[in-house]
């Protein structure tokens, strides 16, 4: 159970960093990523597959290429958590 908490903590901490350090707030996500941008970014982080590249995400994509796989998994998970938050807040 301890390891699950650690994984959840890693994802939550990454999500907090995306919001506080990079300014990707819930409002930003609602205004800017209503067409699947967060999902596509998470898929790119997971796979580094060019078919998931997006205009405006070039800096993000370059950074992902330098990350370890475990770091990319945490980032992708945080992006998906933000997408879930965005969808839940639309209700």
| pLDDT attached to residue 33 | 64
Return d(Cα 43, Cα 45) in angstroms, integer. Answer: 5
pTM confidence score? 0.85
1 — pLDDT class (breaks 50, 70, 90): low
- The dihedral formed by the CA atoms of 18, 19, 23 and 28, expressed in degrees to the nearest 10: 110
Angle, helix 2-20 to helix 69-89, in steps of 10 degrees: 70
pLDDT tens for each residue of 15-64: 999 888 877 777 766 667 667 788 999 999 999 999 999 888 899 999 99
> For 47, phi and psi rounded to 5 degrees?
-110, -25
């Amino acid at each position: 159970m301890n390891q699950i908490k650690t994984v959840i903590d890693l994802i939550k901490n990454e999500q907090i960093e995306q919001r506080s350090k990079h300014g990707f707030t819930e409002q930003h996500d609602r205004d800017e990523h209503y067409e699947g941008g967060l999902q596509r970014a998470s898929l790119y982080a997971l796979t580094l597959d060019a078919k998931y590249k997006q205009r405006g995400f070039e800096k993000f994509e370059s950074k992902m290429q330098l990350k370890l796989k475990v770091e990319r998994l945490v980032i992708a998970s945080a992006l998906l958590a933000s997408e879930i938050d965005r969808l839940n807040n639309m209700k």
